[in-house]
Structure formats: C-alpha cells, structure tokens
Structure 1
Amino acid sequence: MDPVIVVGAGPVGLTLSLALAAQGVPCVLLDEGPGTEEVRLARTVVLREDTADLVERLGAAGLEKDGLRWSGWRSMRRKQLVRDVPLGAGADGSYDAGDSGDVRDFGDAGAAGDQGGPSLPAPLHIPQHALASALRAAVAAAPLVELAPLSRIDTLEQDRDGVTVHTKGSGTTWWRGSYLVGCDGARSTVRKLLDIRFPGRTAVERHAVAALRAELPWPGEAVLHRQPPWRGAGAEVGARPLPDGVWRLDWLLPPRGELVTPDALITRLRDTLAGWCGETPPYELLDTGVHTLHHRLARRWRVQRAFLAGDAAHLLGALGTQGLDEGIRDAENLAWKLAHAWHHRGGDLLLDSYQAERRAAVAARLRAADQSLPILRGGGGLRTLVPGAVRGHDTLLADGHLGRGALGAPPSYSHSPLAPPHAEAHTTVGTPPGAPVADVRVTAPDGTAVRLRERLGQGHPLVILVAPGTGVWDRRHWLTAGIMPRLVEAVEALPSAAELLVTESYPGASAHTVLLVRPDGHLVAAFAGVRPAELFAAARAALGGTPGAGGGDEDGESDENGGGERGAARAPGPRERVHADRTARIN
C-alpha cells in the first residue's frame, strides 16, 4: 500500500509519523517550513506523565535534560504571607485551597502528600522547540519516515484507494498516499480543503509571557498567584520553572484589551519579582510574547481517508488545559488504528472510532473549562455551583495544570464504539473499562521485567495475567504451570496477534484476573480467569471487527461521513477456526 501522508511537522505531526513507523507503516511528512526550529523560551509546553513517556518511547531523547518535572505546585491567594500552610485533603478526597489568603502548597507532584492526598504524577515543562527538535532527530533516524521540507499543500483529492495531494515547494509536487492526516495547526489547509467547519470562541484568555533567568523563592516548583496586591499585576500571575535557572512567567490579561508594550511588560515583570522577593532581584530577560487562547472544535475529524489531529482539530488551553498534550493523545489514538487498517485493509468502524473517542474527550475538556471560567474569573457562587464543599478556586486551577479531574485527567473511552458488550465473565478491577491502565511492572516474553507502558504502541493488543508469585519463578516453569497453557492457546486464537504478559499484581485485581489492553494502553475488559470465547469477542470488538464482518469492507471504502457498509457475511478466517476448535476443547 501507499504510505500515509502526514501534513504538518510540528510536535503532533512528528509524533504521529514516529508512532506509525514504530508499527511498520511508511509515512511521508510534509513540512511547510525548512525543517528547523526557532528557539523561543517563552513558548513552552506541559506534558503529562503518559504523553511524556510516549514521545520518549518513540525516540525523543533528552527531554528530562531540556525540561523540568515540577517538584510541587504552590498556590497563593490575595496576599502573600511568610508562612506555608500544608494543604489538607477533604472527606471526598479533594484538596481544599481555602479562601483565607494563606499560601497553600499543593504537595509533591511526584508522590503522595503528607496529608494523605492522592499521588500527583509530575508534569514535564519543556520549551516547544526542544521537544520538536528531539522529535525531528528521531524522525531523521526512522527509515520509514520521508520528511519533505518546504512542501505546502494546496490541493487534495480522494478516491476509493487513496489520497492524492499537490504541494508547492522545491521538491516533488504530487504525492500519493493510502491515508492523510492534517496536523497543520490552527489555520489548517487540510481542514479548509475538506470543507470542515471550525466553530468556537475567540480570545477566551490572553496572557503576557516572559522567559527570564533569575533566582525565585520556589526552586523547582510551579507557582500560581491569584489577585496579587501590587498595582498592574492583573488577576493572576504564574511562574513555571525550566532548567538552568530559567522561569516562564504568565500574566492573565483581559480577553480583549490594548496591546502590551515592551515597557508595560517590563514594569509588570519588575513589580512581580519585587512582590515575590521583597525587592527586584537581578534577572536576565530572554524572551517575551503575548499568547491568546481560543476554544474551537472541528465538526468532523474524518472525511473518507483524511483525518485531522492536534490544533487542526481543536484549540484549547484556558485554565491550564494543555492543547499540545491533547494533540499527542490524538496521534497515539489514531496511529494504531491507521496501522491496523494499513496492514489488514478495511476497518471503517475502527477508523470511525478515532473521531468518536477523541472528539468526545476534547469536547468534555472544553465544556469543563467553559463551565469553570465564569466561576473562576467571575468570583462568586463557587460553593453552590461546584460539587464538593471543600473544593476551592485554586483546586480547580490546579486540576488543569497538574492533570487531574475534568480539566486535566487522561481521557477514558468508556462509551467508545469499540467497547465490547458486557459479559458475565467480565470482572471489576481498579481501572474502569476504557480508562488508561496502571503502569505496573510486567514480565515480557523474553523474561525481562519492564513497565507496562514500555510495551505499548507496537500495534497489537496486550493480554495480562495477574499471577502473584511468578516474579520469583523461572519463566520456563510458570509458562507451563497452572492456567498458563490454556491462556497461551486463547491468546494464539485471537483475531489479531497479541502479546501475553504477566504481572505480580494489579490495582483491584485478584489472582488469575486476565486484562485485555488496547495498543494505546486503554483497558478493554478484565476477566475472572481464562475465558477464551469472551476474550476473543472483546478483542474482536476492540479492533472494530475484522474486515468484511462488522469492521468495514475489504477495500476500505467509506462514505463521506467516514463510515462504510458493515456487517457483510464472510467465512471464518484461520484464527477464528482455531479459536472455535480450541474453545470447544477447553470448555
């Protein structure tokens, strides 16, 4: 088949190309620019733990060197006091930032706090150019990715077998691909060529931004100061650390207001440093800018063989929500589905699920931000409008920045069209179906112990057996002991190749629980013991059915809305025949 065409070589397009290549799919990456990154320290991104792991797994080395994981999150309200008050945990498990005006500490971002609060995985703060450069280096080393710089797309045509595009530039002008993904940003040419509407709100928030080198009182901690007392500070100012003593400072501006002049920004900066430090300390100003945040959501994310991802599909960012973080999740979700369709042909239900899952997740994030904005920016009514009497303004803001709750938690695809019907064999574990699985230690097929997240993104489902005690056994013994032979047979009979792993324990799971996990790390279902028929049915559903039987037609044709005829009958394939034979024997 022809390669997948990825339009746009920003972090999302680079990540998608690497994720496809990791699953054996060749890509053409059309880059409108010259293939280099402009160094802008005031333009930074925050990656949650799972997305940071993803890009590092794809070969983006050195992110910890270029970025910084926050050691904590500090929130200040109204006035600055000289003492810190530990943050308590409410009866419902939420954090109370309070309204007393005290300095409140949101605890260690990498471990549970002293007050018994939940563990907070540390987000990674990194300049965007450093992330993009690391991804570009990985692309340069990926033989399945062809990077075409100075290639601006201007036409796009689709047919039942693929996509043809024309580009303006110094190189090849016509490109042929099996599928195309527009990762070309907020002003996406692909979105316009597909005639997809992009409604939403303009200038939801504006921030003045400065990157500087200075010594601040909170090394390694992110700071949010609401309603600071000094003149001209605005309603909110935040500081996020970067390596080498560099900080990014953000001042919340009125949504629509006058331009921020260089002199006005310098005044804000000096007043803020003096307010935090008692007097303005020595500093080196490295970069400045004004960042305007919009909230928009594309009506459709798929038109036949063409898809949208990242800023081409959505814009968000108010209240700490992270647009690039969501764009990388788009790439992870779409990559394994395109890879399956590319290798096996067909799979319209599987490809349709990309829009169903990701658009719903981003829409929920946008709704949460839009509902919180009047409360957080308007002041009153918080305790009557927000469930949980102990939740405060600062807690809601911290949710977005730290990756918790509706503003920041990893998405769950519980209502996905790929979710299997409930069966009696299903059991409950600590992870709900559709949510990301816990990153437990597992034993890989070669006998080595690795993190579960390290086995993701290889294009096949994972089957995990919870078997206490296996960690101290030689793998040659436990592979042939107990229920393992039956489970091996059941996994070999699945409708697609899968990897069998073993773990000593999993949150909320009893011994002999079997977990079925999608290639992107979301739980399909958990089973009480080895249940070959139910495991097969769940795996089939998670893959969108098989070509010609509930998952799209053989040639991959779909209608203009991205769907295709489904449900055509066909003879069972060899894996299904093996499954039927073995199920009869085992049961």
Structure 2
Amino acid sequence: MDLPRYPYHQSLEQRAGQPQRRPVVIVGAGPVGLTLALDLARRDVPVVVIDDSDHIGSGSRAVCWAKKTLEVFDRLGVGEAVAREGVRWQRGRVFHGEREAYHFDLLPEAGHKMPAMVNLQQDQVEARLVRAVQLEQRIELRGRHELIGLEQDADDPSQGVTLTVRTPDGLFDMRADWVAACDGARSPTRTLLGLGFAGQVFEDRFLIADVRLAPGARPRGLDPARPERWFWFDPPFHPGQSVLLHAQADGLWRIDFQLGRDADVEAERQPERIQRRVAAMLDGAPFELAWSSIYQFACRRAERFRVGRVLLAGDAAHQVSPFGARGANSGVQDADNLGWKLAAVLKGEGGEGLLDAYEFERMEAADDNIGHSTRATDFISPKTALSRRLRKAVLDLAAHADFAKPLVNSGRLSLPTEHLASPLSTPDDAHWAAGPAPGWPAPDAPLEEGGWLLEALAGGFALLAFGWAVELPGLRVLTLPADGLAARRYGAAPGSVYLVRPDAIVAARWHRFDAAAVQQALARALGRTHV
C-alpha cells in the first residue's frame, strides 16, 4: 500500500500574521488524533490537526484492533475497510514448551457485525484514517507543525488557548477554544502542561520481527486460512523466554521475542542475529525479514486528563505494555468518548461537566488497562525465583486442570471498560436479571429489516424501545422486537427501554417507559449540572 503524506504548506494565518481562533486544535496525527478529528467533523465541528511529521511511521507497531475499536472505525467510515484488509481472528493458543496449556475463543457467539479482532499493521490503519481526513472539508491536517509553546489565558480560562508552533517558515501562534493532546508517549503537550506521568518502567526488552514466509511454507502447522494468536512460555527454540506470534495482512507474520532485561540491544539489532532467532522459531522454513524493532515499555498515566481547556488522550495520557492490545485500542476509545462530549460543549448542548466526566471515565479505563497490563507483564516476565516456580506450576496445571487455565496470563485481550460509577449514568431503579447496566458498552445485534443495531445508533443519543413504539420529541427512538436477539442481549422484556449515549454506552434503562425519567437521564448524560 502506498502511504499518503500530508506535506507542509503555509496556512492563511501564517501569511496574515494574525492567529485565527479555531474551535479545536488536535496535536498529533496518529490513530487517536485522526479518529478524534473524524468524529468531531462528523458532528460538524471544524478541526485543525497539527503534527511534527508529514508522513506515517513505518512498521507494524500496533497491530491488533479490537471489536469496540472496529465499531468506532465503522461509525467513521473506515471500519469495513480495516476489517476487509486485515486478518480476522478470535481464537488463541497458549503453549508451555511445546505442549498446549490452553486455548480460548474471544467471540464464541455469532450475530455481530465486527469480528473479535482484526490484525492490520498500524501504518495501514493510519493510511485509511489519513485518507478519510483528507477528504473531510471540516478538517485541516498540517504536517511539520511542531508544538513548542502552550498558554491558557490565566485570568479567564474560558477565553481559550494559545499554541506556539514551529514550522519550516519559522514560529507562529494559533488560537483554540479547546486543545486535544494526542501526541504520544513523549507528549510535548503534557510536558508543557507540567503534568506528572507516573508508573512503572519495565526493564525487559522485546524484539519485533515482521517476516514473510516462502509460498507454501507452514512451519509448526501455521495455517494462514485459520489465523490464531499463539503464545509460548519457555519454548525450545527460545528457552527461558516467551514468544508471541500473530498473522498480519499482506502475508506477513509478526513475531515478538522476549529478550530479557540484560540483552545487548546493539547486538540484538543485527540482522544476522534476528535471522537466526526467526529461523529457529520457524523450523528453518525460508522467510524474508520485512521489518524489525526492539522495544521496552512502561505502564503509567498522567495525573490529569484535563487541564483547563486542554485534554489528553491516547499515549499522551497513558501507556501500557503491548500484551493484550490495550494501547492503541484504549486510545481510539478515548477519542470515541471525548468527541461527542467536546462537540456537545461547543454547541451549548452539554455542560463542561461532560469534560470532567471524560477525565473520570478514561482515567478509570486507563487504570483498568494498566492493572491488566501490569499483571500480564509480571506473569510473562517473573522477577523472582518464587514467582517463576509459581508460574511453572500454573502452566503445568493448566494443561489438564480447568481451574488453572484462568490463572495463565499471556495478556488479557482488550475489552472496553465498564464505567459503572460514571457521573453521566442514571442508576437502575429496579432489578435487572440480565443485560448491560448503565455505564456498560451497548452490544450489537442484527436488525430484522437488515443492517446492525450499532449502525442504526449512528453516533447520537438514542432510545431503544423493546416490544412497542414510544415517542419523545428531540430524541431518536429505535423500536425493536421483544423476542429477538437484541432483546436477549439486553435482557429486555416487552416495554423495556434503554437510553444509549453517542459513544454506544448505556446511559440508563427502565422496565417501562417514563418520559420524565428519560428526559432527566438525558440531561444527566449531557452533564447538565442541575440534574
């Protein structure tokens, strides 16, 4: 795939020498910033995206895109392309040595538009997002614009933010009502805000190798027609360490080798060394090395996700290990959470409490992901003799004892966080035996007339009415049968009603429709302080 560029050009405000006030400036043109820009543009909010580069980075980097993220992409018009071009999978196998310890299925039920996981290299996902952005008249994507200064109006923060930007033609200032920092783990925006970024940096190093097998090669029984996630603890071809294997698009396979904390990084970078490692893993099958990298990782987050009129998202706000695919997925879900809230505030439909709720919910999600990520890393890379013995015992037991299988941790794969304590949710006023509670993601289901429920929600507030039609001025209502698959997934009976947020999170639910209760729950979900 030819990757699009976004070359530098002088803006009108540079030529005029006078800052032009923008509703939103997004710093960073990675998957998170581009997703947020598309989301805001779909809500008729003009956006400027600035990035210190003018092109997409190379290599696989983030490669696993989870179902919730694919649903976000689908709403923005790129989900079907990502799912089509990537490798769909839902099953995984975990090995101890060469013996299988256990296997799993991420989506054992049918009836969802999007698959459990799609593997597609980050550069190809970014290419899809960049092209969509470049077609959107409400988005201006500016390459080679480096943020070097940030100042909020001290006397009246409501007056906005001044950004000082360095370009090939020198410095100039931009003005914004709101700024979204989506500029990665080394975020200049976070640094300029003086925010702490606390957590744990892991000393282990890992090697990524993207390889292409010779035609017809199937070492270790790899089957491109049935892609799975394979993870080895202490395999004979890489003793004492772990290895992760994923199928990728374009006939590539990604292999992550744990190297240990004492690895000689310069020696491990040498192509000959990488070739030997891969050859041992592939039983000597012919292959081509397409790309490689060595990484360390950290689990940490910023102390705040909102400082006045500046909001943090993605790696600028939080970092996790790559085990479980929680980094890029949680960042895209940050953008999904933020976009509708920021648009509602800009249009006067919601109070600024929405943005405090963004911070509350996504800090909760970050802590959830960091917890999962840290536990996975501790299991994959035990630090003491006792923890190594405990891991071996768990792996030995898991091969023949079901109770031990959940204890094996090769990375709990990405799922959206349930915001049960969200200030935007209206608690249940009656018992529900099943279905997603307020703060939970709304599940998908096929519609009788064709299409999918999450497609029909389409990024706005909606009321799901099961069994009979109801009306409420100013609120879209979807009437669904009380005996269909959607009703079963929502635990609904005839008369049940769900209020769903624009990011497909349940805001409230009732066993019977009450217009006043729905209006009150809608006001709460919009952050109106009088509720």
Q: Which TM-score bucket, shorter chain as reference?
A: 0.7 to 0.9
Q: How many Å apart are 1:397 and its aligned residue?
A: 2.1
Q: How many Å apart are 1:233 and its aligned residue?
A: 4.3
Counterpart of 2:264, as a letter, is: E
- Select 1:436's aligned residue among 432, 441, 465: 441
In structure 2, the residue matched to 1:500 is 477
In structure 1, the residue matched to 2:33 is 13
Distance 1:372 1:137, change over 3 A: closer
SS at match of 1:320: coil
Counterpart of 1:514, as a letter, is: V
In structure 2, the residue matched to 1:533 is 516
Counterpart of 2:158, as a letter, is: R
In structure 1, the residue matched to 2:367 is 363
Distance 1:44 1:173, change over 3 A: same
Question: Which structure has the larger Rg over C-alpha atoms?
Answer: 1
- The more displaced of 351-360 and 262-271 is 262-271
Q: How many Å apart are 1:423 and its aligned residue?
A: 3.0
SS at match of 2:291: strand
Q: Tell me if the contact between 2:38 and 2:76 (Cα under 8 Å) persists in the aligned partners.
A: yes
Q: Tell me if the contact between 1:59 and 1:135 (Cα under 8 Å) persists in the aligned partners.
A: no
Distance 1:161 1:45, change over 3 A: same
Gaps of 5+ in 1: 81-100, 114-119, 275-279, 401-407, 468-482, 551-587
In structure 2, the residue matched to 1:466 is 466
In structure 2, the residue matched to 1:222 is 229
Q: Distance in 2 between matches of 1:524 and 1:411?
A: 14
Q: How many Å apart are 1:457 and its aligned residue?
A: 5.4
Structure 1 residue 4 corresponds to structure 2 residue 20: no
Spell out the pairing of 1:125-524 with structure 2 (5 A cutoff): 125-158=119-152, 159-170=157-168, 173-203=172-202, 205-214=204-213, 215-216=217-218, 217-219=221-223, 220-230=227-237, 232-259=238-265, 260-262=268-270, 263-274=272-283, 280-344=284-348, 347-376=351-380, 377=382, 378-381=387-390, 390-392=403-405, 395-397=408-410, 399-400=412-413, 408-424=414-430, 427=432, 429-442=434-447, 449-456=450-457, 458=459, 460-467=460-467, 484=469, 487-488=470-471, 491-492=472-473, 497-504=474-481, 505=484, 506=487, 507=489, 508-524=491-507
Q: Distance in 2 between matches of 1:309 and 1:155?
A: 19
- Select 2:73's aligned residue among 49, 55, 74: 55
Q: Distance in 1 between matches of 2:50 and 2:458?
A: 23
- Offset from partner CA, 1:177-226 (integer Å, 9 cap, x none): 11100001111111011111001112354311111111332222221121
Q: Distance in 1 between matches of 2:247 and 2:427?
A: 46
Q: How many Å apart are 1:417 and its aligned residue?
A: 1.4
Q: How many Å apart are 1:106 and its aligned residue?
A: 2.7
- Offset from partner CA, 1:440-485 (integer Å, 9 cap, x none): 2348xxxx64312214453x31100112xxxxxxxxxxxxxxx53x
Q: Tell me if the contact between 2:27 and 2:49 (Cα under 8 Å) persists in the aligned partners.
A: yes
Counterpart of 2:498, as a letter, is: L
Distance 1:111 1:199, change over 3 A: same
Q: How many Å apart are 1:102 and its aligned residue?
A: 3.6
Distance 1:255 1:416, change over 3 A: farther
Q: Tell me if the contact between 1:234 and 1:253 (Cα under 8 Å) persists in the aligned partners.
A: no
Counterpart of 1:62, as a letter, is: A
SS at match of 1:160: helix
Q: Tell me if the contact between 1:196 and 1:300 (Cα under 8 Å) persists in the aligned partners.
A: yes
Distance 1:65 1:536, change over 3 A: closer
Q: Tell me if the contact between 2:416 and 2:441 (Cα under 8 Å) persists in the aligned partners.
A: yes
Distance 1:412 1:256, change over 3 A: farther
Q: Tell me if the contact between 1:428 and 1:526 (Cα under 8 Å) persists in the aligned partners.
A: no
In structure 2, the residue matched to 1:575 is none
Q: Distance in 1 between matches of 2:352 and 2:62?
A: 37
TM-score (ref. length: structure 2):
0.83
Q: Distance in 2 between matches of 1:541 and 1:71?
A: 37
Gaps of 5+ in 2: 1-20
In structure 1, the residue matched to 2:64 is 46
Q: Tell me if the contact between 1:442 and 1:502 (Cα under 8 Å) persists in the aligned partners.
A: no
Q: Tell me if the contact between 2:269 and 2:294 (Cα under 8 Å) persists in the aligned partners.
A: no
Distance 1:298 1:204, change over 3 A: farther
Q: How many Å apart are 1:427 and its aligned residue?
A: 4.7
In structure 1, the residue matched to 2:14 is none
Q: Distance in 2 between matches of 1:131 and 1:14?
A: 11
Q: Tell me if the contact between 1:440 and 1:503 (Cα under 8 Å) persists in the aligned partners.
A: no
Distance 1:308 1:513, change over 3 A: same
- Offset from partner CA, 1:504-533 (integer Å, 9 cap, x none): 232211111011111101111211121112
Q: Tell me if the contact between 1:203 and 1:256 (Cα under 8 Å) persists in the aligned partners.
A: no
How many residues in Structure 1 have an aligned counterpart in Structure 2?
Answer: 477
Counterpart of 2:348, as a letter, is: H
Q: Tell me if the contact between 2:376 and 2:412 (Cα under 8 Å) persists in the aligned partners.
A: no
User: Among the aligned pairs, what percent are the same residue?
Assistant: 29
Distance 1:529 1:210, change over 3 A: same
Q: Tell me if the contact between 1:15 and 1:328 (Cα under 8 Å) persists in the aligned partners.
A: yes
Q: Distance in 2 between matches of 1:345 and 1:194?
A: 28
Q: Tell me if the contact between 1:233 and 1:268 (Cα under 8 Å) persists in the aligned partners.
A: no
Structure 1 residue 31 corresponds to structure 2 residue 38: no
Q: Distance in 1 between matches of 2:134 and 2:377?
A: 42
Q: Distance in 2 between matches of 1:197 and 1:266?
A: 40
- Offset from partner CA, 1:380-429 (integer Å, 9 cap, x none): 44689x9x9713377532632xxxxxxx32111101111224435x7554
Distance 1:62 1:227, change over 3 A: same
Q: Distance in 2 between matches of 1:50 and 1:200?
A: 26
TM-score (ref. length: structure 1):
0.76
Q: How many Å apart are 1:67 and its aligned residue?
A: 1.6
Q: How many Å apart are 1:38 and its aligned residue?
A: 3.6
- Offset from partner CA, 1:476-511 (integer Å, 9 cap, x none): xxxxxxx53xx31xx21xxxx422112223221111
Counterpart of 1:500, as a letter, is: V
- Offset from partner CA, 1:133-152 (integer Å, 9 cap, x none): 10000001111111111101
Q: Distance in 2 between matches of 1:111 and 1:248?
A: 25
Distance 1:423 1:39, change over 3 A: same
Q: Tell me if the contact between 2:102 and 2:405 (Cα under 8 Å) persists in the aligned partners.
A: no
Distance 1:428 1:106, change over 3 A: closer
Counterpart of 1:43, as a letter, is: R
- Offset from partner CA, 1:329-360 (integer Å, 9 cap, x none): 00000101001001116612111001100111
Q: Tell me if the contact between 2:350 and 2:527 (Cα under 8 Å) persists in the aligned partners.
A: no
- Offset from partner CA, 1:24-79 (integer Å, 9 cap, x none): 11101012111x22432x4342110120121233132621343211253122212x
SS at match of 1:270: helix
